[in-house]
Amino acid sequence: MVDESSSKSPVDDRGQPCSLAMLSRRQIAWRALGLPSVTPDDQTREEQAFTVVGETLAALAGAVVGAVVYAKIVIPAVPIPFGNLGLYTGWVVIPVIFAMLAWYFFLNSIRMKRSGRIISIYLAHRKCASCGYSLDDLPKADDGCVQCPECQAAWRFDRLGPSSKPSNS
């Protein structure tokens, strides 16, 4: 069995250190919405299910820091235009900006903590968990692994999900 709990730095199925596939800009944009139910691609949505708590906590912590910065630093130092309207707008805008920054800053380490799960999700979608390259149509080595031609990470063939390509046999 693959240990899915200990995952400081991810390893492939031959025990070699590997990376965790980066999110595309499009995936990051969808994730920034924080609404897994509307995320269009299955893989991102499945991954979010395991990281949404950490992502939410990071964003909340950022919002708290933003509120403190606004109250303790910005309001005393900067003349806020538009009276109360400007003041209240700042109470929304500044914490939201800090929340987004904190979320983005911690996203990678949150994913790393759940890398065991995320690796399984990538493999179920027949993608290399280390680089995102497609693992379709690759030969199985003697040890039961397929090796990613792009990054050389090796994954057990039996962890790959069913091929989405129509079978011609």
Contact residues: Zn ion, CB under 5 A: 128, 130-131, 133, 148, 150-151, 153
Decide whether 7 or 147 has the Cβ nearer to Zn ion. Answer: 147
Q: Least CB distance from residue 130 to Zn ion, whole Å?
A: 4
Decide whether 119 or 128 has the Cβ nearer to Zn ion. Answer: 128
Decide whether 39 or 130 has the Cβ nearer to Zn ion. Answer: 130
Q: Least CB distance from residue 126 to Zn ion, whole Å?
A: 12
- CA-closest candidate to residue 138, choices 165, 120, 117: 165
- CA-closest candidate to residue 155, choices 165, 164, 132: 132
Q: How many Cβ atoms from other residues are within 10 Å of residue 119's Cβ?
A: 26
Token pair 């397929």 is found at 146
Pairing mode, if any, of strands 154-156 and 145-147? antiparallel
Rounded distance between C-alpha atoms, residue 57 and residue 109, angstroms: 13
Give the CB-side neighbour count of residue 130, counting CA atoms within 13 A. 22
Q: Least CB distance from residue 6 to Zn ion, whole Å?
A: 22
Rounded distance between C-alpha atoms, residue 73 and residue 34, angstroms: 29
SS3 41: coil
Decide whether 146 or 148 has the Cβ nearer to Zn ion. Answer: 148
Question: How does DSSP classify residue 20?
Answer: -
Decide whether 16 or 108 has the Cβ nearer to Zn ion. Answer: 16
Q: Least CB distance from residue 152 to Zn ion, whole Å?
A: 7
Q: Least CB distance from residue 128 to Zn ion, whole Å?
A: 3
